[in-house]
Structure 1
Amino acid sequence: MEKLQQFWKIVHEVWTQGWAGVDIGKLLTALGILVVFLLLRRLFTRFILDRLQNLTSKTETTIDDYSLKALKKPVSFVPVVLGLFLALEYLELKGPLSVFSNHLLKSLIVTVIFWAVFNMIQPLSLFLKRMEETFTTPVVAWFVKTVKGAVVFVGAATVLEIWGIEIGPIIAGLGLFGVAVALGAQDLFKNLISGLLILVERRFSVGDWIRVDGVVEGTVENINFRSTLVRRFDKAPVFVPNQKLADNAVTNFSAMIHRRIYWAIGLEYRTTIDQLRMVRDEIEAYIIENPDFVNPPKAPLFVRVDKFNNSSIDLMLYCFTETTVWGDWLQIKEALAIKVKEVVEKAGCAFAFPSTSLYVETLPEDRPEIFTVPSEKEKRA
């Protein structure tokens, strides 16, 4: 009997002292409170947030839909924090455990708040669409990323301050580290600044067809902090450092109003003046009457005898097409080339090709006699 009493005494002592001096009964009760609020979280999400989502889907605006979707996860975590708070209050922890639980609770509250703010940045960025009239879409995207980074930094600093970790010395240390890194990462910062200049100057945007001589030609897919992704026409991706795009001349074909045709048509020197005028006038008339071409004053048009070249009389053809689509432009240029050939042949002249004439004024007196093959008549004589 005494053994049983001693055993019961040990059990009662373990039950009352529990873990860190907390009654096991209180621990189980606190755990039960937390479990209940975890279940309430699911009910809260299913019956309240889902119904709110159904209501917002019926409105004409989309900002409330995006906002509720962004806040759904942070708000659904609130019952968990509330349950943890009630459980810790019920336990009545003291000493270091009380300080730890207090810091933990504050950290979770800060996390939920900044989590909600971070998620709300994207829906609120819809209001920044008006800024795209002044700035480009990538600039607005960079601004949103910067704000998100600032929210994360402030949230992390707040949590560290709660736990007694001073953020000032860390920032100072990072500043010294940043100076050391900057000395070895100058190209990175050059590319970053170049990317900002590209966006501010609106040299090109996502989706534009660009060409950088000696670097790349293709369609812009993404403008990042360090490099720009350009998709070549063979579908190969090219990551171009922003510094090259800022320092070199960039041709933005997507910004073209018209597309140019510039030829030098070489005619033979035996071409008469009347033939030159006929070729010139008929080519010019074809371009003026063709709706595929742009006529002055919208764009310049020149069909003129340009210069006397080494082996040809050059006719300059300078005009612009209405379309800027490369395939259509090639088709129009092909039709113009065929017409030019028809006009030249109709005028009775011909195209010149590079040639060299050699004029000999005198021959040396002691030159050897030129051998000629005797004819059949000479052989019979």
Structure 2
Amino acid sequence: MFADFLSNYGTLIKQIAIAVLIFLAFLLLRKIFITYIFRLLLKITKRTTSDFDNQLVMSFEKPMRVLIIILGIYFALAYLPLKEAQDTLLLKFLKSSIIVAIAAGFYNMAGVSSGLFEEIEKKFNVHIDKILKPFLEKIIRAVIVVLVVTVLLQEWGYSIDGLIAGLGLGGLAISLAAKDTLANIFAGVVIITDKPFSIGDWIYTPSIEGVVEDINFRSTKVRTFAQALITVPNSTLANEPITNWSRMGKRRITFKLGLQYFTPRDKLERCIQAIETMLREHPDIHKETIFVTFEGFENHSLEIFLYFFTITTKWEEYLKVRQDVNLRIMKILEDEQVPLAFPGRSLYFETPLDTRQQPQDKPQDKT
């Protein structure tokens, strides 16, 4: 009985065993690829001055791992006595797997394409804005997906002519249904081309204030100073006035300094001259525009108007410069013995006010 079984299925069992060995050999090849070949490639790419080749190897690592397993499955099944239709199907599966693996590598590389953009900037001496880079990454990924789907459909015998014709008929319906989405996409294109801000800029609009972290087809992500991440539709940003504080050439400081009314005129003049001289000699104050003037007589003080700019535009450095200026102004006022004014009010009575304490009436003795 066993001999009959071997005579009938012995060849098939032998073929299955060889197919399993072929698959195990590819698993071993995958291990060799990860342990030796991939590490060798990384060592070679790390010696270069560019990070692009290193990112290229890393992008294709996982797709190559999966592709080796798929090749093992294909050659293992191809060794078995399959029918012609099954062989054809198996070959299509292999071709599709290779297409997907290569596309996955390029898809991953598009996600870390900063190295590619840096190489383009160095070789062609062009500047690619930071806000444009993630937008280009998403466009490249979308193109890769569309191309892969198109090639796979053709590989499996599906005609894409009808699909393209259907897109024309369905375009109107899609545009009506996704009107807001399309408006955001076109607004995103306007923001990209007009460049009112870039990633990392501090912006202010009537609806949002914070630092730009990302921009995509539909929206822009802004991190507020309370560390909240707000997603703003591109159409909203495109229709609002945008103040980009990060692109200031200098940062303004303006305030009024109130001195007491009994300050002598000569001391007032010396204070104004000393403050203006201090500002013009200060290393962190912009020399182009400095105003220190006696503006007028207010209700409670003699007002000195100050208007000047700091060289730095960074918020932290700006606060330190402003603090230093304030301390120097206090030193000038102390040297001149000029006190600052504060709101106060004097009351005058037509008749003298009797502040003497009135004697209290003694209680009557009822006994």
Bucket of the pairwise TM-score, normalised by the shorter protein: 0.7 to 0.9
Partner of 1:68: 57
CA distance in 2 between counterparts of 1:288 and 1:344 reads 20
Q: Does 1:97 align with 2:89?
A: no
Match of 1:162 among 150, 155, 165: 155
Q: In 2, are the aligned partners of 1:192 and 1:225 still within 8 Å (CA)? A: yes
Match of 1:252 among 244, 251, 275: 244
Q: In 2, are the aligned partners of 1:136 and 1:199 still within 8 Å (CA)? A: no
Give secondary structure in 1 for the equivalent of 2:131. helix
Q: In 1, are the aligned partners of 2:211 and 2:222 still within 8 Å (CA)? A: yes
Partner of 1:281: 273
**Once the two structures are superposed, what CA deviation does each residue of 1:342-377 show, in whole Å capped at 9, x if it has no partner?**
69973x9x859799xxxxxxxxxxxxxx99999xxx
C-alpha distance 343-51 of structure 1, shift in aligned 2 (>3 A): closer
Cα offset for 1:158?
Answer: 1.2
Q: In 1, are the aligned partners of 2:203 and 2:245 still within 8 Å (CA)? A: yes
| Matching of residues 181-330 of structure 1 within 5 Å | 181-212=174-205, 214-264=206-256, 277=269, 280-295=272-287, 299-305=288-294, 315-324=304-313, 325-330=317-322
Q: Does 1:15 align with 2:9?
A: yes
> What percent of counterpart residues are identical?
32
Match of 1:128 among 109, 114, 117: 117
Letter in 2 for 1:192: I
Partner of 1:367: none
C-alpha distance 128-8 of structure 1, shift in aligned 2 (>3 A): same
Q: In 1, are the aligned partners of 2:96 and 2:152 still within 8 Å (CA)? A: yes
Cα offset for 1:331?
Answer: 0.8
**Once the two structures are superposed, what CA deviation does each residue of 1:85-137 show, in whole Å capped at 9, x if it has no partner?**
43344335334323322221221222233233334445665231244953312
Give secondary structure in 1 for the equivalent of 2:83. coil
Q: In 1, are the aligned partners of 2:26 and 2:72 still within 8 Å (CA)? A: yes
CA distance in 1 between counterparts of 2:276 and 2:191 reads 41
Comparing 23-32 and 284-293, the one that deviates more: 23-32
Q: In 1, are the aligned partners of 2:310 and 2:318 still within 8 Å (CA)? A: no
Q: In 2, are the aligned partners of 1:266 and 1:313 still within 8 Å (CA)? A: yes
Partner of 1:146: 139
Give secondary structure in 1 for the equivalent of 2:221. strand
CA distance in 1 between counterparts of 2:263 and 2:351 reads 38
Runs of at least 5 residues in structure 1 that lack an aligned partner in the other structure:
356-369, 375-381
Give secondary structure in 2 for the equivalent of 1:203. coil
C-alpha distance 55-318 of structure 1, shift in aligned 2 (>3 A): closer
Give secondary structure in 2 for the equivalent of 1:225. coil
TM-score, with normalisation over the residues of structure 2? 0.74
Q: CA RMSD in A?
A: 4.2
CA distance in 1 between counterparts of 2:233 and 2:335 reads 49
Give secondary structure in 2 for the equivalent of 1:148. helix
CA distance in 2 between counterparts of 1:63 and 1:231 reads 29
Letter in 2 for 1:184: A
Letter in 1 for 2:213: E
CA distance in 1 between counterparts of 2:323 and 2:66 reads 63
CA distance in 2 between counterparts of 1:134 and 1:59 reads 23
Letter in 1 for 2:320: D
Letter in 2 for 1:109: I
C-alpha distance 264-123 of structure 1, shift in aligned 2 (>3 A): closer
Cα offset for 1:337?
Answer: 5.9
Cα offset for 1:191?
Answer: 2.8
Letter in 1 for 2:115: L
Q: In 2, are the aligned partners of 1:293 and 1:321 still within 8 Å (CA)? A: yes
TM-score, with normalisation over the residues of structure 1? 0.71
C-alpha distance 134-54 of structure 1, shift in aligned 2 (>3 A): closer
Q: Does 1:36 align with 2:25?
A: yes
Letter in 2 for 1:242: N
Partner of 1:379: none
CA distance in 2 between counterparts of 1:186 and 1:111 reads 33
CA distance in 2 between counterparts of 1:210 and 1:341 reads 38
C-alpha distance 275-185 of structure 1, shift in aligned 2 (>3 A): farther
C-alpha distance 292-154 of structure 1, shift in aligned 2 (>3 A): closer
Cα offset for 1:261?
Answer: 1.8
Give secondary structure in 2 for the equivalent of 1:221. strand
Runs of at least 5 residues in structure 2 that lack an aligned partner in the other structure:
355-367
Give secondary structure in 2 for the equivalent of 1:301. strand
C-alpha distance 280-49 of structure 1, shift in aligned 2 (>3 A): closer
Letter in 2 for 1:30: A
Which structure has the larger Rg over C-alpha atoms?
A: 1
C-alpha distance 134-46 of structure 1, shift in aligned 2 (>3 A): closer
Query: How many aligned residue pairs are there?
Result: 347
C-alpha distance 261-123 of structure 1, shift in aligned 2 (>3 A): closer
